[in-house]
Amino acid sequence: METKILDELKKSELLSLIAEGKRKDGRKFDEYRKITVEKGVIQNAEGSALAKIGKTQVLCGVKFGVSIPYPDSPKEGTMMVMAELLPSASHLFEPGPPGEESIELARVVDRGIRSAEIMDFSSFFIEEGKVLSVFIDLYVLDHDGDLIDASALASMAALLDAKMPLIEEGAIVRGKSAGPLPLKEKVVTCTFAKVGDHFLLDTTLDEEAGVEGRFSIATTPTHVCGIQKGGSGAFSKKNILELVDLSFKKGEELRALL
Amino acid sequence: MEKPTLVVEGKRLDGRAFDQLRPIKMKAHVINAADGSAYVEWGDNKVLVGVYGPKECLPRHMANPYKAIVKCRYSMAPFSVLEERIRTGPSRRSTELSMVIRQVFEHTMFLEAYPETEIDIFIDILQAGGGTRCAGITAASIALADAGIPMRDLICAVSAGKIDGQIAVDLSKDEDNYGEADVPVAIAPRNKDILLFQMDGLLTRDEIEHMLDLAYSASSVINRMQVDALKEAYSGERTEAVLPL
């Protein structure tokens, strides 16, 4: 109840600011907050990174495991992305099994990485019936909006930090590495929120209260490799093409941080 | 894996004396969104705690008209161990630890001051290196104080144990795995009350006494660090929370 009322107040504040061409924190519409990325923060993981966009903090850990391949690709390894919205990270998150928000987040990050084919899954083959699996676990530690961009950034940084595990007699030797995980590209994601006729990059949690819809675009330097429209707002063809152009431009800023 | 020798020439594997703690770092106010938060690095352990409340108790039928209820979740990150990835979701171990940790703080907080409300404590082990529940309790006390929740004391916790026949404080992961006994204890430093005590292994009465004495001396060191972490967070302007991972 209180939250609903607050959201309405935040929305009207957002709308009146935007009408004047302003944002509450003084940023331009297409400007990110301060971003930092730190790799190698969890020594027990094969790869890890902490990404911060403004007050949002997302930790990503990469673990390798040995598993049975899917029947339709017996020579290929597998990848899984999971997202945990820690109840510590926001009054909006509660303990329990993953809800729609965390599942969407994990799947959007998964699609960007998977579609860009940045990993060679055939190099994950160990022996008949045995392949390597890469587990990418996202831990949202502090929520102040734009979770998709921060999570995509953390996962890419953690993959860049990741070492291939050493395999002996069909099993992983823990604590030893077989060199860096080869990656073809750096995938980054830019999320634009629609407010009236305007688009805001990197919304804060307060701004998100007044947003009609969002558009997340994952890119490599040359291609779009994943898109997710979120929220109940509508986008035109013209909107979408403009946002794709902008996401290549803004994507370069993110790639430079990796 | 074969059991390593845990004591060589009177020193432990990591070179510590029997009454010596691992290196510890503590920081209060590390999560912007939480009412209170703390981060503790203790040896190889990396522990994050967020606290919310006192706030409206949900679901309503759980509310107590005489005092606040405490909810506690201890959870290990899937990537927190060197071994195989841990499955997400509660395990039998994490369920038990959440309960015994909750009971520590049910004793410590002035719950009767906040009827009909709940206080949430979320302990997340980002990296595990032996003694995670003790690091978690120590961090949770800082986070509760950071949230401004009135408490009888600033609780700290440490483990003691027996390794290769010797009594030692603050067991590392290897010492816990291959030692003869492990005893995590939570202590209220002001009156020396023991608020958590678990043990596995074989010990004599005198060994238990020796362990408690080691844990008591270690607790005063830990308590001082907790106070320092809180003083640091409140000495200047309240700035943006940054996790020093």
pLDDT digits (tens, 9 = 90+) for A192-217: 999 999 999 999 999 999 999 999 99
A69 prior amide bond cis, ω within 30: no
Q: Tell me which CATH code domain A2-255 carries.
A: 3.30.230.70
Instruction: Provide mean pLDDT across the span B15-42.
Output: 98
Using the beta-carbon criterion (under 8 Å), do B52 and A43 form an inter-chain contact? no
pLDDT of residue A4: 85
Map out the domains of chain B with their CATH numbers.
Answer: 16-231 (3.30.230.70)
Residue B216 has pLDDT above 80, yes or no: yes
Residue B191 has pLDDT above 80, yes or no: yes
DSSP label of A89: G
Q: Quote the CA–CA distance of A36 and A48 in Å, as a whole number.
A: 14
CB contact, 8 Å: B80 with chain A?
yes
pLDDT of residue B238: 82
> Which residues, 6+ apart, have CB-to-CB distance to B241 below 8 Å?
A55, A142, B29, B30, B31, B32, B37
Q: Are A129 and A69 in contact (CB under 8 A)?
A: yes
Using the beta-carbon criterion (under 8 Å), do A89 and B120 form an inter-chain contact? no
pLDDT of residue B113: 97
Using the beta-carbon criterion (under 8 Å), do B79 and A45 form an inter-chain contact? yes
Task: Compute φ and ψ for A49, nearest 5 degrees.
Answer: -160, 150
Which of A186, A222, A191 is closest to A207 using CA atoms?
A191
Average pLDDT for chain B: 96
Instruction: Provide mean pLDDT across the span B165-183.
Output: 96
CB contact, 8 Å: B32 with chain A?
yes
Average pLDDT for chain A: 96
Distance between B69 CA and the closest CA of chain A, angstroms: 16
Distance between B49 CA and the closest CA of chain A, angstroms: 7
Instruction: Provide mean pLDDT across the span B30-59.
Output: 97
> Per-domain residue ranges for chain A?
2-255
Identify from B41, B95, B126, B142 which residue to disrupt to test chain A contact, counting A C-beta atoms within 10 A and taking the largest count.
B126
Is the sign of the CA dihedral B190, B193, B196, B200 positive or negative?
Answer: positive
Question: Which tokens hold the place of B183?
Answer: 């005893």
Q: Are B171 and B161 in contact (CB under 8 A)?
A: yes
CB contact, 8 Å: B117 with chain A?
no
Integer angstrom CA distances of residue A15 from A18, A23, A209: 5, 10, 11
pLDDT digits (tens, 9 = 90+) for A215-241: 999 999 999 999 999 999 999 999 999
Q: How many Cβ atoms sit within 10 Å of the Cβ of residue A138? A: 25
Percent of chain A having pLDDT more than 70? 99
Distance between A127 CA and the closest CA of chain B, angstroms: 19
pLDDT of residue A1: 60
Contacts of B77 in chain A (CB under 8 A): 42, 59, 61, 84, 137, 139
Using the beta-carbon criterion (under 8 Å), do A61 and B242 form an inter-chain contact? no
The beta-carbon neighbor of A43 closest among B31, B49, B127 is: B127
ipTM over 0.85: yes
pLDDT digits (tens, 9 = 90+) for A6-39: 999 999 999 999 999 999 999 999 999 999 999 9
pLDDT of residue B1: 66
Is the pTM here over 0.90, yes or no? yes
Q: How many Cβ atoms sit within 10 Å of the Cβ of residue B190? A: 10
